[in-house]
A and B are shown apart, each in its own frame.
Chain A
Amino acid sequence: MSASSRSEIFEKIAKGRAQRGNSFEPDPSWRARLETPKADIIPAIAQTNGDAALQRFCQLASILSCSVETVHDPKLIPDQVATYLKNQQLAQEVWLGEDQTVQQLPWDKTPMLNIRKAEDDRDVDGGTVVTGIMGAVAETGTLVLTSDAHTRVGTAYMPDAHVIVVEEEQVVGGFDDIWDLLRERYGVGELPRAVNFISGPSRTADIEATMVLGAHGPRAVHIVLVSKDFVWEAPST
């Protein structure tokens, strides 16, 4: 079924294409564009760097209803997570990601926290997940997750709260920088199974266009930015 359908569709496309005098024989420039892709127009908002990028990242993430805090010493993170859970009136229990960023933190120094390890994405339903991240985008205050041996993609969507540890070197100007990083890491034309750009907690406006947080994904996203010097101060409301 599929082989003949494929050829029929391709024949019809070819016929239509020929009507306009366009050729199938690829111009070398098209292939070159696929082999060595270049960014299209990169808007100015996607071209920040340094402290300006950190500032923009934190600001836009806050606008997207993320809570953001900065920390100079990563060793303090487990304590801060415990405080966050207490303030949010959430259970003192976290499902830890298998990634290096989170695993190297001194969780044993925070005995009141119940540390759990997910065997299945479904385990974290309704709980709090703590993970690292592949990158973060200042352009829109977005977090970037990629699938690998240590990253359960599904656990970014199943919990009620997602705590994400971002290292300052991971914050880039725009989406375009993420593609550059991934092409460098995996090769051009190759990507991990999942590359997920996450911008704040899940939301819907499907009932009378009223925004409601926590549609299907996390109701809360808490960002812990690890930076030597930068401090984010939320504008007072």
Chain B
Amino acid sequence: MHITSDKFKSLAHDAIHDDRLKNGLMIFEKFLPAFREQVIGRLPEFEAMRDQARDIKDHTLSHLDFYLARFEEKVLAQGGIVHWARTGDEANEIIAEICRGVDAKKVIKSKSMVTEEIELNPKLESEGLEVFETDLGEYIIQLRDEKPSHIVGPALHLNVDQVSDTFYEAHQKYGRTERVVEKDALVGEARAVLREHFKTADVGITGANYLIAESGTIGLVTNEGNADLSASLPNCHIVVTGIEKVVPTLDDATLLMRLLVRSATGQEAANYMSFYTGPKRVGDADGPEIFHVVLVDNGRSNMVGTEFQDMLRCIRCGACLNHCPVFTSIGGQAYGSVYSGPMGSVLTPALTSITQAAHLPNASTFCGRCEAVCPVRIPLPKMLRHWREREYEAHLIPRAARWGVGLWAFLAKSPWLYRRALSIASFGLGLMSREDRAGSARWVKKLPLIGRGWTERRDLAAPKGGTFLTQYARQQKERR
């Protein structure tokens, strides 16, 4: 997993000033939360279901090896093949090997964040394979050679004009030389182009929203129908997903499904919620004869048993992104990781290292909305704090910040000095400030040194009437 999170500050700065992002960010900030709110209003059991989902995921993660072994056993019994990959590279090699084994030339893919994480497409392309993303959003960003900006809506940072430009350029080779600008027509064009690839692909790759131990089944939730075409037409179906996706029963998967669709897009049901168990059976009318499941660890097993285990409950709904004031200001690509927003800021350092992703745990105001909306109640702010502690321990905090915190700690340990410093500071601010017209407050228009940035866009109210302690002392004296 390659990340560019070390550039977070400059990417975030650019994103804030990029007007083209505004429309997409408004969709995440306003529309999706409103849709979610509306469907939850029709489901009085929602809170109880969240508790139950949390408990089921906790139980499964606490005995992950038991449930994975059971899942594997059931897949094998149906004639499927299960692969275990310690790293992204190992997963990519396994998948490439399967493709070589069936002499594949063309691969169609439905949306899978794990394949984004392990960077599967470049690997397959280096093997000479043609790889087509078929989820419309993923297809658009594949053509533009971009990373997803949101785990659910990967291309929502783009405007229709940008999509139109992309298709105009990319579809010339299919003889589509006229520029298409309407959304319906753009969808229709992608449908027509990808339909031919569906019909001629040798391998279909999908992710999985859950793995079901009861029956060795994988569950997929989509709206477009591309995952099911990928799982039906080619003779070889490869499922790629993380080891944490396993749940005990079909009922548990159903519980998560009910929470997922509401939390992600505010739907009561996604268009296509599909369950696949092994390859085509003897006598079946259709279906792939070859069925592989590639289970990817890539850092997940390191989280088991640690203070980050709860993150493995995540069902990738994206609600924490949509409700995050940082995400909805800068969008997903600024995070430099395919996992963005609060869940990405916790997961990315776990899957890479805190050294590489040091900025991400700081991309939070700790407002707590992410935890409040998480369908499986992941304590995201608490885990971001854990990462900040690690970051501090690893001396990854910039020198100025460490120096500032160190100075504050020194003063705070000596109450006498602390009070002295406060009095001097408030005296100084008093000198720098001017009374406003109403005469009710004093404002500092321009701070020197490190305070300069703070007063660039707003004024600082100067303290008046002394500190709490001096006021308290005065009051005590008067009472006597």
B62 contacts across to A, CB distance below 8 A: 17, 20, 22
Of A8-16, A72-80, A105-113, the one with at least 4 CB within 8 A of chain B:
A8-16
A: residues with CB less than 8 A from B are: 1-2, 5-6, 8-10, 12-20, 22-24, 26, 30, 33-34, 37-41, 43-45, 60, 64, 98, 121-122, 125, 139-142, 147-158, 175-176, 179, 188-210, 212, 214-218
8 Å CB contact of B254 from A34, A152, A176: A176
B238 to chain A, nearest CB (A): 14
8 Å CB contact of A207 from B44, B155, B271, B301: B155
8 Å CB contact of A194 from B90, B155, B215, B287: B287
8 Å CB contact of A26 from B64, B66, B303: B66
8 Å CB contact of A41 from B45, B66, B272: B45
B: residues with CB less than 8 A from A are: 23-24, 27, 31, 42-45, 48-49, 52, 56, 62-66, 68-70, 74, 83-86, 90, 93-94, 134-137, 140, 153-156, 158-160, 163, 183-184, 186-188, 191, 194-195, 198-199, 213-215, 217, 223-226, 228-229, 231-233, 243, 248-252, 254-255, 257-258, 265, 268-281, 283-287, 297, 301-306, 309
Shortest beta-carbon contacts, A-B, top 8: A217-B225, A16-B305, A16-B304, A19-B305, A215-B224, A140-B269, A12-B301, A206-B137
Among B83, B86, B250, chain A packs the most CB atoms within 10 A around the CB of: B250
Q: Could you list 16 further interchain pairs (A-B, Cβ under 8 angstroms) beyond the known A199-B272, A206-B155?
A: A13-B64, A17-B62, A34-B213, A37-B248, A43-B43, A43-B44, A125-B195, A148-B283, A154-B228, A157-B229, A193-B279, A194-B274, A197-B274, A205-B153, A207-B155, A208-B159
Residue of A nearest to B223 (CB): A203
A1 to chain B, nearest CB (A): 7
Query: Would A16 and B286 be within 8 Å (CB), given that A203-B224, A203-B271, A206-B137 are in contact?
Result: no
Q: Are B301 and A202 in contact (CB under 8 A)?
A: no
Pull 27 A–B residue pairs with CB atoms less than 8 Å apart, ordered by A.
A9-B84, A20-B305, A30-B248, A37-B248, A40-B251, A43-B44, A140-B269, A147-B285, A153-B285, A154-B229, A154-B232, A156-B228, A157-B229, A175-B257, A188-B214, A192-B284, A193-B281, A194-B277, A204-B223, A209-B156, A212-B187, A215-B136, A215-B225, A216-B134, A216-B191, A216-B226, A217-B271
Query: Would A37 and B214 be within 8 Å (CB), given that A140-B269, A175-B254 are in contact?
Result: yes
Q: How many Å lie between the Cα of A64 and that of B285 in the bound state?
A: 29
Among A34, A151, A194, A200, chain B packs the most CB atoms within 10 A around the CB of: A194
Q: How many Å lie between the Cα of A157 and that of B226 in the bound state?
A: 8
A195 contacts across to B, CB distance below 8 A: 217, 274-275, 277
Q: Are B258 and A43 in contact (CB under 8 A)?
A: yes
A155 contacts across to B, CB distance below 8 A: 286
Q: How many Å lie between the Cα of A210 and that of B185 in the bound state?
A: 13
A208 contacts across to B, CB distance below 8 A: 23-24, 27, 156, 159-160, 183
B160 to chain A, nearest CB (A): 5
Residue of A nearest to B186 (CB): A207
Residue of A nearest to B279 (CB): A193
A216 contacts across to B, CB distance below 8 A: 134, 191, 194-195, 198, 224-226, 229
Q: Are B285 and A13 in contact (CB under 8 A)?
A: no
